Structure 1
Amino acid sequence: MTLEFRDLTADPADLALLADFYRHYVVEFPDPDERESMANMVDYLRRKPVGWYGRNNYHIVLAIRDGVTVGCSVSDYLAEPNAGVIEFLLVTPQARRGGTGRSLVAKTERLLDNDAKTSGNGPLAHVVAEINDPRAPSDVPDNLDPVTRALIWDRWGYQGLDFPYTQPPLSSGQESVANLLLIVKSFLPDRLDPGAIQLVVHEYLRWAMRISEPDSSADYRRMVDYLRGLSEMRTLSLAAYVGVDPSQPLHVHRLTDANDPDLAALRSCYRRAFGKSPLAVPESEFERALTDVGGYHLWTLRGSEDDDVEGMVSLFGFETAGLCGYVALEGRLRGRFRALVGRIECALLRDRPTARGWYVEVGLHTDPGPFLAVGFEELDVDYRQPGVDELVRLLFKPFGRRYGPVSLPVSELRVTLAEIMDVVYHAPLAPEVLGSLDGLEFARFR
């Protein structure tokens, strides 16, 4: 079964193929704010033969197997930054796992490289693409698990660009999209710098999104302000970002009931880490939560599937946020907390895609440094666990990357803390906690 590629034109036969495939596109892009209209795609194709793009170019490539379209990519060549943009790339569910995606992205990259050479710019410098950030809240369910997608693009040689990318509205009836990650594959790495990325975004908005004056977009201006403050363009390993770093392997096993053979090892790990802590709970609470609490995660951690248990995690997922009850890393797993944070955030967002972040309770005699180093902030509240006399540090982290001060509405904080007290401790929220929040619109941090 040979896979063929068709770079569409405005020919009626090609437009008919595009119209037939557009129904897959609508399904695969459930967020209407991310979706390009069929009318715009047709218009872009019709502009090509009359020279509207100048030295730039535009491609809609269909992947066809045995007469059936099984994939599609839409891409732009931008001459000014000598870069390509893959606006979207999808493979129908029935054709996945067979190399179709890899072949399609390679074909798209070759077309963009040919555009670069035809324009007189020499070899293509970079290709960028948008993916849903697997560690960002979303109001619209994704068509593909965002972690799976990130790992696929990682295998194809792409990295995340570490800046607050936002897609401006594509039309007057659409909204900005902030839960995206701009990714890049560089063919000339020495030329990847903040100025180059700014130029790519500028031209992408201008030619693909038809924003004739990108500086008129508040979203674009915020991106520019951030990029201009960078001395270098930082990138993210997509695999490491979701906690799957080959250099720091971490095997996670989720317990589902009290008969799991890992439970004894988890209890031993918990006892070693928290047995003498005033914040410890009876070990029977783990079994109770597994049985009675929806959205509860209880994990054992290993370096690999065949290793002994060297860590444990307990997590609660609530409507607006998650709570890490306990986390312990021993032996060879020490130093792998950052990878674990990626796993935790992806897991909590799978359960509650609209949740904004997560909390952790830390005893006054426990070093909060590891949490602060990955983006947590300590809340300025008089927080106690029921039945525990001493104050407890309550830390909060928004999911994913952070580029500025944490903004946490007090109304949201009250709801989450009430849920924590009810579900975890079977107690009401203490008056002193409520009192420390009175009169505030946003939470204060120490």
Structure 2
Amino acid sequence: MAVRDAIYWNEAGAPDPVVPVADLPRQVDVAVVGAGFTGLATAIHLARGGRSVALFEAGKIGHGCSSRNGGMVGPSFHKLGMTGLIAKYGEKKAYAIMQEGMNALDHFEAFVAEEKLDCDLHMRGRFRGARTEADYDATARECERLNKAVGLPFEMVSRAGQRAEIGSDFYRGGVVYLRDGGIQPRKLVVSLAAKAAEAGVLMFPECPVTGIRRDGEASELRCGDTVVRAGEVVVATNAYADRRTEAMHSRVVQIETGAVATEEIPADLMAELSPKGRMFGESGRIFMWFRPTSDGKRFIFGGRMGSPGCAAEERAAATKTAIARVFPQLADIGISHAWSGDVAYTPDHAPHLGFEDGVWLAGGYCGSGVTRSVYFGAKLARRILGQPDGETAFDDLAFNKVPFKPFSRFAAEMMTRWWAWQDARDLCNRV
């Protein structure tokens, strides 16, 4: 069967959002640019706070990473880890930044429950395999620090006991993060869009904003031949920012990642591969993440496999090679879908929200944006509305522009190759 160049989530029980037809307004209180998780969440809270809100999206609602990601949720801790954060910011600030990960997850779970969002949220934990004994030891130390700092619950799993968590002998043990889980990301897009419509948000898919100009106390947004005047502007384009939303574009590095969906897997084999229905990840500089689909019939695998911009068949082949080292049992299972998308990284490895260059920004999730985006949307709306509890531990971290931005994607690709070589070396040297 040929591999489809299509996003699996879009065909798995998640139709396009129903968007009420509306004429472009001449003036609104707030214009939100980008209709992914961040933009939708921000718009919902602003509209409920009494603001008139117009939401603009260059593609379909949720066209970007919000429909393309792996749908894995968790605390989304800072990439530097406790040791790196303490060295850079000191112990108190490091603890506060890590606590925001727990706060974001708490908010996400509560919001999904309170709003009754249909997104297949299942908090079954995540097993993260250690590729080497050194990785296992480092993971144990980091988890102990996080448990002490923010109460992260975890269980270390020995190599001898890992078959209870994953149908693979590849790893040297690992850890189970008990507060992780998964969603169907496209379903979350659809549910958030429905809530936005109910709140009175005017949504304009396939309506790119081609220019933003600050004019005194307000801003003017150009949409085709129409100019919309807004008191405030939120730019939530994240990794899909370009020159049209320069304030975000200049501050993030866009890195292409890909994902594939397998064909349906026999139930007995699925039970062997994922005995507890958990999410999965692994140590390494360039790692693969993977998970069962919500219905438990397929696996989704993702990461930086395949060359940038490659065809679906090439991406599928590269991912099959990565799959084989973990699950040789899937050698005869085909790939049905392959797709790609961009994620947004920042020079300091931290997400950011705040007011920059005359617009409100939220993004730079560094590949861990499901919980952070919904959380940041609520926080940003509170600031714009002048409500309490809009602060985060990231507020005093400067959202700096990326040095040599035109070369950033190329530099990221070169670093990916270097890190992949180092990972391969480590695997060759392990016993």
TM-score, reference length from structure 2: 0.25
TM-score, reference length from structure 1: 0.24
Query: Larger relative CO (CA 8 A, sep 6+): 1 or 2?
Result: 2
